[in-house]
Structure 1
Amino acid sequence: MAIYHFSNQIISRKKQQSTIAAAAYRSGERLIDERTNEEKFYKRQVKPITHILAPSHAPQWVYDRQKLWNEVEKKEKQWNAQLAREINVALPKELSHAKQEKLALEFCTEIFVNDGMVADLSIHRDDEENPHFHVMLTIRPFNEDGSWGNKQMKVKELINGKQQVKALHITDWNTKEKLVYWREQWAHYANRFLKKNGFSERITHLSNKNRGIETLPTIHEGFVARQMQSEGKESDRIKMNTNRKEYNKTVIELAEAKKEKKYKERTEKFVRRFTPLEKKQLRDSAKSLRMFVNFENINIRRLQLEKWKYQLEFHQDSIDKYKKLNRIENETELLNQAEKIFEIEASRFLDKYYPDLNKEELSTNQKIEVVETTVSQNKLLNINDIEKVLNELEIKQIERDLHVLLNNRQQFVLSLQQELKKTEKQFEHLRVKNRINFSDQSTIKNATDKDLKQMQFLLKEKEEMNKSLILIDQLYDHQLQEMYPNWDGRNYLTVEQKEFFVMAEEFFGKPITPEDLSNPPRKYSKDEQKEIIFSLYCINRYNMDSINKDQYYDVLRHKFPEFQIENQSYKQMFYHECMRYADEIGQDKMNQLHNAYNIQSVGDVEEFHLEENNSFTPLSYHDSGFVFSTGSDFFSILESAIREADRKWREDEFEQQHKNKKKKRQNGMER
């Protein structure tokens, strides 16, 4: 069972502690303490899994464990200096070793490293029943140039009329609020991984008292206490846990008895009922699909298959391609059959318990959600309850759509614009075909009922698409306002141009400045680009459910945690950066890059052009998204967009000034 344990301590010189000794014990490595010239080594039966994680502006030497902690010891001069922070965290033993490691890496990277700390992570599995990790964290921050920063800054304050010097911490890493935040976040991260991997267990950072639970929490026993017990000695910590477990057992038995009594007092009203044939069909589908069949899993698998099929459309014809397409078709048919069973059962349930409900207006998702809510709450829902259920379902769908949207922004905007043009073209075709002139309402009678309904549908679709474009445009405006608060020209960019500025900020971690246009930044070094290209190439080689593919995903996530593998815009920016340094990277790696992006030859890719009056950028399309054509340079494109936006802004300003002068003259004449 997953347990919550998250302890924090400061390693300090005041307590006569050494970061070298602490790092050697936790990592299992031999380390030399340069202050004392002593070798520190602690033999461990099971070799720890170790990683050093650091922010991008930290110097390269931090990845050398011995160098890192010796530099910390050198930097701290005071006799009572705080040297490092150590956090000890219990890992959920339900997860596999690989998932435990992934969880620890993701948590440490996003919570500590992204906040500016260097994290020395060691995962211990000496006891399979007690998997945990230690993470030693730097207390002193690094400056942007890679040098050590200050822990505190001194400020002068007037206290009771006297000027006093007060020391303020540069970071909030030592605050109680920050520790509470870390503890809370660990519970969120662990629970997300447990849920994602199909486990119902959850942990919480809250005490039993705060949760209203009568049982007493057990304490962390630790290796020393268990070793004492194995040697026949008595441990106070184990004795305390034994007593608490006996007490808790009694409390739990009483609670179960109360629960059973309430259950018997309540008549079971609502259960989902499948016919024997339906149950057999669902069992067969689950076996063939190799997954637990419920409505949520059906929708998830359907999206996976659609994405896979879309990718295969751009592959060359081969026996392997047709085998995969055949598998997709077979699985889709099984999903359709299973979904139909759930829909039939839901309709049957609603007919019985909600005879007055207009089921024709409900989608399959909505029907099933009403049924499952009724069953879980074991009560008939009133109109307000049903409305709430449907609203919550709609919010969930919007959240899912928004997640897809944020990871595929450019594909979203460009495809939406194309779809909008297609819709307008279809509408105009029907108008001309039926000789409709909207200035003459009588001509509407020329159209058939079928064509009128189709035109109404197209008008509604056009309205929804325009709303979506306005929404994404507003999203970009908000981001650009934060990025360039003093640049009025940003308001004159097209939505496509705004998108490229946002993509650049997301990739480089900062807004693009005029200096960047003349001296473009580089996100990844030559060696890093080669390593990422190879991983992407290997991921593209293996099919979607291959174990090998997961291994290369893990390589990317572990070595390059900031690389957003699922974000098509981010991948597009990486592709562009590699193209800029193609000569450095070499032809072999560039071939792997094109293969990873399913591009046979970049020059052969068909170009997709925007409107003729929009000179912003030509794009090339393939199955992993839109990429710049070989003739375009990203920073030249941004520079061109800035010039165009500033020109429009100046014209608008000139026109506004002209109108103001004209208005003043008219007012003067009137007076």
Structure 2
Amino acid sequence: MAIYHLNARGCSPSTGAGAVRKAAYQSGQALVEERSGQLCDYARKERVAAQGLALPAGTPPIDRGALWNEAERVWAEAGGGKELVAKRFEFALPVELDERGRLACVRDFCALFPTKACDWAIHDDGRGGNPHAHVLVSALDLGAEGFVPRTKAQKGQSWYLVQNDGGERIAVPATGWAAAKAAGWQKLYNFEDGKRRTMKQARAEGLGAKDRVSKSPVKMHRTEGRSAREVEKEQLVEVRAAWASIANRHLAAHAAATGVATQAIDHRSNKDRGLEEQPTVHEGGVGLIGHADKVKLNEEIKARNERLRVLRSELKNEGDTLEQLKRELAELERKRGRIESAKRARAQGRHRGALAKRRRTAMATAAAAAAAQQRVAAAAVDQTDTRAELLVQLDEQIAALDLKIRQLQSGGTAKMLSGPLLKAAELGAERKKLADERNRLAGGGPAPRRPEPPRPEQNRPRGPRH
């Protein structure tokens, strides 16, 4: 399966990585480094499957040794230092392609640098597992008269990003650093937490030199006034994206010609692609130091990534199920809400009906009570009137009885009075009943007892005693 791998390294004689040495290594040729007089000859030549030079149009023919010795000579005449002679790219070639397809990929890659000299080589151990390419790209443009040195304006010098105590930042050339330092400016450094600080700021925060990314201060690009690291990073990203496009174009053509499934590579990191998988490491060729360990590590990484894919798939399925359950629950909640609203509406309707009924009942009860009170009041008035009439009638009857009794009690002899007195006694008892009834109606107690009329025996004349 096609994989993405591309890295880039600077090539400078000042670091021991001369262009002649690198060209001899990747091409498998023995080259003489004229600068030192050394013969550069390396083993493992059998893995070089193909090699060649890609030069700008109009450039006269030149061999590999002469090309890179001339590049180092121009570098030395320009003052040497840390200036690069070339940049060396290494990238994996798709295993799906044959030798012709891989060669086409390398030539298209060299075409990305039309004004530079490109020295390329394809390495393959013959086992089909690690075909890759090395391309040495000159730092200077190559023309009909040879390498074109940078002008003074192009070459320039190192510029440092500096800051004063007020937080202001400017770029200062290396030649002006002493004066800037005397004026209170301080160099900035990149720290591991991603921030830039002066050493004065770092010490104030409890940090030291060990907390820096490197001991080199932040340098600015000589022509763009930007960080050299940022510019190099952007250029590398552009090259990485261009190589992915080249490889995918040839893979698509291969798939169309053979009818196999299309493979594609992506220059972006897993993080930039939104993947949570751990990236594998570049294994290199079989037999190289650490190759077996890298193969084993990649097997572990692939197995771990596969487990993660399975777990993520299961998690996604569970997540989809959970989302479906949430949607169903939401629908049930909406139905329940509608039912509850209908129930509340019916309950409110019943409540309103009950309230209306209770109001009607209360109003009817109040009206009945008022009518009853009116009837009671009327009855009380009628009763009072009736009682008064009864009292008058009783008083008249009692007066008539009193008159009859007095008439009966007055009279002649006892013998003559015995009959009327008995009648008067009867009338007296009747009078008492009437008087008691009158007192009850009038709210008083029983009528006072009147002396009963004398019985006939009481008035009988006594005879002579014997």
TM-score (norm: length of structure 2): 0.48
TM-score (norm: length of structure 1): 0.34
Per residue, is there more helix in 1 or in 2? 1
Per residue, is there more strand in 1 or in 2? 2
- Structure with more contact order per residue of length (Cα contacts < 8 Å, sep ≥ 6): 2
